[in-house]
Amino acid sequence: MTTEQLVSEIRKKKSFLCIGLDVDLNKIPEHLLQEDDPIFAFNKAIIDATHHLCVAYKPNTAFYEAYGIRGWQALQKTIAYLNENYPEIFTIADAKRGDIGNTSTMYAKAFFEDMAFDSVTIAPYMGKDSVEPFLAFKDKHTILLALTSNQGAFDFQTKKIDENELYKEVLKVSKTYKNAENLMYVVGATKAEYLAEIRDIIPESFLLVPGVGAQGGNLQDVCKYGMAKNVGLLINSSRGIIYASKNSDFAQAAALKAKEMQIDMAALL
Amino acid sequence: MTTEQLVSEIRKKKSFLCIGLDVDLNKIPEHLLQEDDPIFAFNKAIIDATHHLCVAYKPNTAFYEAYGIRGWQALQKTIAYLNENYPEIFTIADAKRGDIGNTSTMYAKAFFEDMAFDSVTIAPYMGKDSVEPFLAFKDKHTILLALTSNQGAFDFQTKKIDENELYKEVLKVSKTYKNAENLMYVVGATKAEYLAEIRDIIPESFLLVPGVGAQGGNLQDVCKYGMAKNVGLLINSSRGIIYASKNSDFAQAAALKAKEMQIDMAALL
């Protein structure tokens, strides 16, 4: 999917919501555990109930890997279901991968070709030759960790290299990578006050923003400091939406939560 | 496995060789492609031929994910085969994961419990709460990326934060994490001259050292600057060993290459 197509969907749906599909079998409604594939059954119900309210879905691969082969099967079925039924949706493999060149190419093939995700999240620590293999894929997007929403972000990301914090160095250096136009960045909503300076460095790049809701980030602050001409924001919510209810009405409850966020977003657009 | 058991194996075998099981179907002998599971068939043959010459195996998960479900099945069969037949071998999931706390816990369960690896490689960018969930597992080891063997290491890892390069900051800060005694570190052989200063910060921690062979690193230099009282080194070789021959003698050819390295290592111990 091109960035223009994503922006067009955002305008049409008046939403820049991304829903995180982080499925924990201890948290889904019990009746689903009878299904052949409870994880996929849960995702399918959530997707069918919320697809008109969001523009992106983001499964975090950890939650699938934790269930071994059946977890990977559920992930493959989920992305295939999305691509077949809702091709207008932007899909994000939240995998936080990154390795030396030939190995990154293997990861890129896994997520962009084998599973046909539109994008994947990548850790920047190993630098240029760990990122560029992902950037080489046309109309695919590499979402680089810049400033994450967790407390550990202060261990290294906000420490100063010369004049700049490490996360700003990541923004600046990555802009020089080949096919850098395919880059997006993760910036946590819990650090909304950093967004103004981030926009000075990358005025138009899309930002994937986790941390609104459960982690304490604020939607209005993120938009105030982070919104770009092309919107440039994907606000992720996972637990706050998908676990809105543990009863048989879980999908409708998720849709209600998503609708609340979509209404707030429409007002901010 | 405890560190003491690993050291004991190193002394017994006079080897600190780790063999990287990075299986590319384009590079393995063609006759194996007829097998039900060519990746596992290849790994099994390599392991049976080399297990007495090395102390560790390191499958890089990228090479398995690239083949989807059948790749994951091959990975699970490989680790199960190792744990059942060669429990004295130290196993490393080269996964380079790392995420916010609850998500890192899911990854830790996937690698330490579901697959029962002894260790996993982790990227440090997200800091303390992305690493500690791995460290919480008893007799399991978290191998943190410090200074990697690739060119991109110079993008961020070697840049200075105050007086120290980022990779040294990673070493120093991670020493303060809870259960830090379960930490090991990745330091590329291509940067052997950095090892003396690294040993000033972490005198006894085990280092996983990629980059000898194909990437140009030198075994003697690594040992000169990096060997500790408890040896403290695992030298990884992947392509140089497992692809020593593409013919029916591939396993014996791999054993010959591993034997060459083991002999060099015995002389250095």
pLDDT digits (tens, 9 = 90+) for B179-206: 999 999 999 988 888 999 999 999 999 9
pLDDT for res A193: 85
**For A138-167, what is the mean pLDDT?**
94
Which residues in chain B have Cβ-Cβ distances shorter than 8 Å to A69?
69, 72-73, 76
- Find, in chain B, the residue whose alpha carbon is nearest to that of A113: B66
pLDDT for res B191: 82
Q: What CATH number is attached to the domain comprising B149? A: 3.20.20.70
**For residue range A221-231, what is the model confidence (pLDDT) as tens digits?**
999 999 999 99
pLDDT for res A212: 86
Q: How many domains does chain B have?
A: 1
Q: Reading across the β-sheet that carries A164-165, which strands appear in turn? A: A164-165, A160-161, B160-161, B164-165
Write down the residue that tokens 């849960």 correspond to. A42
Question: Which band of pLDDT confidence, cut at 50, 70 and 90, is reported for residue B215?
Answer: confident
**For residue range B31-69, what is the model confidence (pLDDT) as tens digits?**
999 999 999 999 999 999 999 999 999 999 999 999 999
How many residue contacts between A and B have a Cβ separation below 8 Å? 178
Token digits of residue A252 = 């409708």
Which residues in chain A have Cβ-Cβ distances shorter than 8 Å to B104?
62
Residue of A158, A175, A154, A176 lying closest to A167 (CA atoms): A158
Which residues in chain A have Cβ-Cβ distances shorter than 8 Å to B131?
152
Q: What's the rounded Cα separation, in Å, for the pair A17 and B41?
A: 45
DSSP state of A60: B
Put simply, the answer to whether B152 touches A129 (Cβ < 8 Å) is: yes
Token digits of residue B73 = 């099945």
Which residues constitute the domain of residue A16? Answer: 3-268
pLDDT at A43 over 90: yes
Put simply, the answer to whether B104 touches A151 (Cβ < 8 Å) is: no
Token digits of residue B260 = 């060459």
Is B96 known to be catalytic?
A: yes
- Find, in chain B, the residue whose alpha carbon is nearest to that of A170: B156
pLDDT at A10 over 80: yes
Q: Do A40 and A23 contact (CB within 8 A), yes or no? A: no
**For residue range A161-220, what is the model confidence (pLDDT) as tens digits?**
878 899 999 999 999 999 999 999 999 988 888 999 999 999 999 999 998 876 778 899
Please name every residue paired with A90 in a beta bridge, in sequence order, or none if there are none: A56
pLDDT for res A200: 96
**For B232-239, what is the mean pLDDT?**
96
The residues of A annotated with a catalytic role in the active site are 96
Residue A22 contacts B where some CB pair is shorter than 8 Å: yes
pLDDT at A131 over 90: yes
